[in-house]
Structure 1
Amino acid sequence: MSFSSKTPPSQSKGSALLPWYGALVLLAALFLACYGFFVRTKLGQWIDEAALLGGEAFLAADKTRGPALAFLDHMPAASALLAGGFILFALVRRRDFLRPTVAGALLLGAAGTTQLLKHVVLVRPDLNISGASMNSFPSGHTTFAAAAMAAIFIVAPVAHRPPVALLGWSYAAVAGASTLVLGWHRPSDVIAAYLVVAWWSVLAGLFLRHAHGSGPGPRTTAAGSRSVPERLLRALAVLGAVAAAAALGLALSMDHPAIGSVQNGALLVFLAVGLALVLGTAMVTGWFVHELFARYGAPIRRRLVRGMK
């Protein structure tokens, strides 16, 4: 079975863009669902807090905390330099002005959206679960790491996008997991950051689709001829989806006593639940964004199509 994003003659331009608009609605709905359950309900806050306490109880020793802290301290600067280098290369070497501009807007837009949501729009009600009532949803560190990788994905040549997506979202997964085990963020904060970056990535892809017009997309090969990074990304997404679903089911089925009375064994389980949710969501989100670009992305052109709407 082959995949091609070439628009059939009978298909309108509007219907060709439906997958992009549908993805934007889906990601926004998932973000609201994540906020509604993990932040606005007592059970959601309990699961979130238990995972955070698990990290503090088992992974806060100096041997674990030192390298992780060093990674997080340098992560924003390293991510910015890496993304800036790729954007500058595309701008100067390939004389491609459109995609670097879109990539930069993606990075700034995702980071700005997270700060606006966290500090202005969203609130965390005090449900007597956590002593920290300040809203930390979404995670700023995770947003910046994932958005930097998404910016590189935008400017990368089509042939290089599968390994870029695989490595970039793996990096974002490690960044998000680090914020959890260090006690900086709850699992839902990290998941929300991934959804914010994915939403801006889809918006960037939709803009490029409008700018470049219709035409054959990047995927023209059979499913069985996918590259190794593509197959690995898909396998990790399937594994991540199964792990996240199983972890959430386990968390819902376990006892939820007063948060201060949870035993170490249960805290370890909830830490594993949090890590499964974080890592699983990162890989599923990375695969989803890559597939959308691979199936429905526009051909890369350096000049805009006249009559762009």
Structure 2
Amino acid sequence: MNTHAAFHRPGPHAPVAARIAAWPFLAATIICLAGVVLSYGFFVKTTAGQFIDESALVEAAVARRRIGTQAAQVLDLLPATSVVIAVIVVLFVTLARRRWMAAGLAIAAMAAANLSTQLIKSGLPDRPDLGVNTLSLNSLPSGHSTLAASAAAAVFLVVSPRWRPAAAFVGGSYAVLAGISTLINQWHRPSDVMAAFFVVAFWTALAALVVMRSGPRWNVWLGSQMHWASARGWTAMAAVLALLTGVAAALLFRSLSGPGSDSTVSYLLFGVVEIVGVGYGLTLAGTLLLTLPVRRRNRR
């Protein structure tokens, strides 16, 4: 399942070819599939999960009133805006660097993610009646969140490794913000957003394996100090945010008291940290997945 990414450059310090193993990418797809299944299994199929998810959606009205209608309308535009930005960047990189294969794979992954989301949403049964006051119509995964996250992933796939840490963090932040916006605007529950992120990550991992193996000459890591976009700070920020929100989610989950609670924002905060934690966790994983295998080692 392994191959060697040949990278030839004349001179005494020619880099050693990087070995691109398939198993990390395939493992990532399995984890992402599990994320979708677990999101559905807990937040849709159990009473506790439904209550937590629906409470976050109801409490989002508080945030919507506080930020105002105009701010909410700005958030509405985030998914569509992300697509426009992604198309511009992908076209620029493709034309400037002649990365036709990578561009085709990035667009295919983006299309597959959005198509999968719609198929899953229409194929899953309605939410079961478990005694929670909620709409029965299935809304998992979120189409808006899939659109934003897949656009960010498309850019991530076509840029060179030196740009990927920054592209991952900025794109991941944009996707997280778009996901939170769907919650604040009460379009989707937190689990819908998380499932969308996992769907996008699944297709991104598959496309990334082909991108890495089909473009060995430009998929070369020059080091974190060779370019500002490669700085360790980008990956560190994603790791810190994923860790902090993970801890916050655990603490909030323990404090949630279930039906009869007089909470006004606790469930909303829990939903937000879920989205942020999953978003930046996948951002961190994607950055490592596409940079670690291609670190360039020079012969002495």
- Normalization by structure 2: what TM-score? 0.84
**Pick from 231, 234, 259: which aligns with 2:233?**
231
Q: Is the 8 A contact 1:59 1:65 kept in 2?
A: no
The letter of the residue matching 1:70 is V
Checking the alignment, whether the CA contact within 8 Å between 1:50 and 1:267 is kept in structure 2 is no
Match in the other structure for 1:250? 252
| 1:87/1:298 CA distance change after superposition, 3 Å | farther
Q: Aligned Cα RMSD in Å? A: 3.0
Does residue 269 of the first structure (1) align with residue 273 of the second (2)? Answer: no
Q: 2:74 maps to which residue?
A: 70
8 Å CA contact 1:143–1:194 kept in 2: the answer is yes
Per the alignment, residue 33 of structure 1 pairs with: 38
Match runs of 1:268-307 below 5 Å: 268-296=265-293
Q: Shift in Å at residue 62 of structure 1?
A: 7.0
Give CA-to-partner distance per residue, 1:130-151, whole Å, 9 cap, x none.
3311111111101100110110
- Partners in 2 of 1:145 and 1:298 — Cα distance? 29
Superposed CA deviations along residues 116-166 of structure 1, whole A, max 9, x for unmatched, are 111124542221213311111111101100110110111112221111111
1:82 and 1:246 map into 2 onto residues whose CA distance is 32
| % identical aligned pairs | 33
In 1, Cα distance between the equivalents of 2:132 and 2:218? 53
Give, in whole Å, the separation in 2 of the partners of 1:298 and 1:203. Answer: 20
- 3-state SS of the aligned residue for 1:251? helix
Contact 2:105/2:207 (<8 A) preserved: yes
Note closer, same or farther for the CA distance 1:107–1:6 as it changes in structure 2 (3 Å cut).
closer
Q: Return the offset for 1:273.
A: 0.9
Q: Measure, in 1, the Cα distance between the counterparts of 2:218 and 2:171.
A: 26
Distance verdict in 2 for CA 1:209–1:157, change over 3 Å: closer
Distance 2:222 2:97 in 1: 24
| Structure 2 partner of 1:46 | 51
Aligned equivalent of 1:96: 99
Q: Give the Å deviation of 1:106.
A: 1.4
Amino acid at match of 2:289: L
Question: In structure 1, what is the equivalent of residue 15 of structure 2?
Answer: none
Cα shift at 1:37: 0.9
Q: 1-side partners of 2:93 and 2:230: how far apart?
A: 25
Structure 1 24/216 Cα, relative in aligned 2: closer, same or farther at 3 Å?
same
Q: What residue in structure 2 maps to residue 176 of structure 1? A: 179
**Secondary structure of 1:183's aligned partner:** coil
Separation of aligned partners in 1, 2:86 and 2:228: 26
Measure, in 1, the Cα distance between the counterparts of 2:197 and 2:224. Answer: 29
TM-score by length of 1: 0.81
Is the Cα–Cα contact under 8 Å of residues 162 and 221 in structure 2 kept in the other structure? no
Distance 1:240 1:267, change over 3 A: farther
The runs of 5 or more residues in structure 2 that have no matched partner are 7-18
**Corresponding residue SS for 2:97:** coil
| Distance in 2 separating the partners of 1:205 and 1:46 | 37
Structure 1 residue 253: deviation in Å?
A: 4.7
> C-alpha displacement at 1:229, in angstroms?
4.9
* Pair 1:150–1:55, CA change in 2 (3 A): same
